[in-house]
Structure 1
Amino acid sequence: MNIGREPETNGMVSSEWAKSGCRLPVIAQCDFQQQESNDDKKKQTTTTGIVVPLTNDIRYTGPDGEIIKPIQGGEWSLNNNSNDSQSNKNELSFYMNFPEELIRRDVIINAGAILRLEGIMYSTTQLKEMNTNFYTARDQKWDAGEELNSIEKRRTAPLKWNPNQNKWEKESFPEDTILVRLQKETNLKRAEQKIKEINQERPNPKDISLDCGPFPGIVDDDGDGDGDVYFRKKGKVLLQSGGNGGIFGQWSINKQCVIGTWSAEPINDKPLSYY
């Protein structure tokens, strides 16, 4: 987690909170454990479980050196969008509890605060499908562009000498009608639009975790559970509950507010665990 003032934070907390631009970095190693649901309808769209910290504390550096504070896990839920055939992402949310106050300069998390973390995951199967669709659309764009270039080259080709007519003539290509050209231009625009639509969902490799790891409720290529996923970087950290008040009176309203971002990387020697 990278806790501090975000653009969405303005107006939702005291103007003094994280005013300096200071950030509070928090690294928590966690295991995501799945819980079985008896609700068949809910099971079709949502996977739930609990977040179990692998250590019961977090560590960060303050003005006076290393600070160690306890941390507690909470529930997690995964909306795998199984009813939406057009969706290529999985929406994850989970809770982390901080029994003691965290302070780093003017970034303060009150004792008893509960943070809600929201983010997006992509299974390796979903990424492969998006990449395949992208490459197909890209090839269609290249083919349409090449055909248009060929038509243009023939249209602007130099005159050829006709010895029978004893004059220079423009070579005729009956197949290059206006209708054919319009059709090729339409194919090119369709392919470009398709690429644009795919890239709106297809993440940039720089925007996802460096490595992938198994996660409960994600179907792999074999149709089994615990398929591999990549986490999208810069998920939202929201204050779910502010605890027992605090310095600066920073939580001016009870509504959830964005107080930072988070990302995750798999701990590859510990399946279903992330930090």
Structure 2
Amino acid sequence: MALASVVIPAHNEAATIGRNLAALRGGTRGGDLDVVVVCNGCTDRTAEVARAADPQARVIEIAQPSKAEAVRVGNAATDVFPRIHLDADIELGGVAALRLLEPIARDEVLATAPRRAVPRTGCSPWVRWYYDVWEALPQVRTGLFGRGVVVLSEEAQARVGALPRMMGDDLAMSDSFGDHERRVVPGAVAVVHPPRTVRDLVRRRVRVATGNAQAEQLGVRRPASRTSPRTLLGLAAERPGLALRLPVFVAVHVAARLGARRALRDGDFTTWQRDESSRT
């Protein structure tokens, strides 16, 4: 009997899916994880690579390039809980995955996520400075979003499943739970590869800004998950070493907000802006 299921939506992830599936199986027994990879609208070898990397995984292919639809299909393909929702470009080791299950198994919380490691090697200095500030934000430190991994109990999955479909699904998941219902597990780490160039960083943040705006429109975003001028001023006072990096963070934030305007005006919450530099 599997200890948990893993739902992985994957769109043109041939460059990373094999490595990440191998990492997920590391340190686990063959039947510990019921892994479902949903290749959505792929035009590369994602499905082939996934099957070769993890013969035990169930690889489903759908024509529609939609993360939301891929997650729906993946959820329908398994009835095992807890459920690990894992982005295909995130490295999560099997031991870390099992550690994420423990607080849920003890009924301490409904949802968990790992600590994030954001390796900056090869990144532009401006990208490194942006992430220095972003990772220090209080809502980023405590929220479940921006990690590419969220683990849900059966009750939590039902709560999340009742949410409207939206672009910023990990933010919506995180904001669905109070502080006492969710936990970032210190002993579990996921590797989140950042964009290497400012251009790709802005592309990624445009997508985030669009998703955040949609969540606000739908009334599912908590005020505490927003970045306000007061938050940034408090951060500068608490950590003066970040003061010189704040203008870079603000500039990227503003550029992303401006870039999201067209999508918001057109009501386009399906165009998935992603960076390719983090996948090389």
TM-score (norm 2): 0.24
Pick 1 or 2: higher relative contact order, CA cutoff 8 A, min separation 6. Answer: 1
Whose Rg is larger? Answer: 1
TM-score (norm 1): 0.24
Greater share of residues in strand:
1
Greater share of residues in helix:
2
